[in-house]
Amino acid sequence: MKRALFCVLATLCFALGACSQQSLIEKLEPKVGSAAAKSIIEQLRRGEMAPIESQLDPRYRTPEVTAKLHEVAAVFPAGQPVSVKTVGFYENTRLIRGAPSSTLNLTYEYQFHDAWVVANVVLAKKGSTWTIVGLHAERMAESLETRNAFTLKGKDAAHWLMLLWVTADAALCLYAFVLCLRTRMVRRKWLWALFTLVGVTTLRFDWSSGHFAFQSLSVQLLGASAVAQPYGPWILGASIPLGAIWFLVVRRRLAAASVPPALPDAAATP
C-alpha cells in the first residue's frame, strides 16, 4: 500500500514538474467556451458591436450598451497582439428547474508592444445557447506574472512584518512539534504533537496589493500559509499558533506527570 501510494505521488510530481503552468491551464480549459470567448474579444477589438449585442443577456440590452462596449474596446491598443494566453477560468454548473445551466468565467492576457490587457468574459449557457453576462478589460503596464511575482523589492514595513510573522509561526510550530516528540510523556503524546502544528484564526495578506483580510473561523497547519493561483497574487496567512503555545506552557506539567513515583528505599524498610 505504501509503495503504491509512493508511486502515485511520484508520478503526479513528475507530471506537474514536466508541465508548465501555462500548458496545464491550456489542457484544462473548456475548449468550446474558450473559443467562443476569444471570438467575442476579437469582435470587440475590431469594433463589431452588433454580433456582441445579439449575444448579450436580455437584461443587458439597454440603450447605453453600445457606448459601454466602445469604452471597453478602447482599452485595447491598436494593432495585433504579440501573444494571447489564458490566465484563468472557472466553470459552474447547476440545475435550474430540472435543466442544467452553466456559467463560464474566462480571463485572458493580451500582450502588445507597449502594454498588456487583461480581458474577462463571463458566459452563461442554457441548453445549447451561450449568452454574454459579463465583459471587462483592463490595460496594464506590466504582465500579471510580473505584477504578482513574489519579490522583496520595493516592499514596505507591512510586507516585512507579515513575512516575519508567517516565518515565526511556522518555526514555533515546528519547534514545539520536535520538542513534544522528545519529551517523555505517557499519555496522548501523538495528539499533543499534532496539536502543536495547529494555528487558529487567520490574518491574510495580499502580497501584490498590500490588502489585509481577517478570517475568524480558520485552522491552519503550521499556523502559516503562502498560496497563489496561476498568475494570481501571493496570499500570506498568519494564525495564532495555539497548539504550540499551549504545549510550551504545560510541557513541564505533562513531563512531570509521566515520571513514575520513586520506589521506597529498601534499607529504610524495617
Q: How far is CA 217 from the centre of its chain?
A: 18
Residue among 139, 169, 162 nearest 213 (CA): 162
Question: What's the predicted TM-score (pTM) here?
Answer: 0.73
Q: What is the pLDDT of residue 26?
A: 75
Determine the Cα angle at 60 with ends 57 and 61, to 5°.
Answer: 95
Containing H/E element for 143? none
Lowest-confidence pick of 114-128, 167-181, 229-243: 114-128
- Amino acid code (one letter) for 130: W
Bin 188: left if φ > 0, else alpha if -120 < ψ < 50, else beta. left
> Each residue of 153-191: b (16+ CB within 10 Å) or e?
eeeeeebeebbebbeebbebbeebbeebeebebeeeeee
Is the separation of the CB atoms in 216 and 228 below 8 Å?
A: no
pLDDT tens sequence across 154-192:
899 999 999 999 999 999 999 999 999 999 876 788 999
Q: What is the pLDDT of residue 186?
A: 64
pLDDT tens sequence across 177-233:
999 999 987 678 899 999 999 999 999 999 999 999 999 999 999 999 999 988 899
The band of 267, judged by pLDDT with boundaries at 50, 70 and 90, is: low
The band of 97, judged by pLDDT with boundaries at 50, 70 and 90, is: low
Determine the Cα angle at 242 with ends 241 and 246, to 5°.
Answer: 120
What structural domains and CATH numbers belong to the chain? 20-147 (3.10.450), 157-257 (no CATH)
Mean pLDDT, the chain, as a whole number?
A: 85
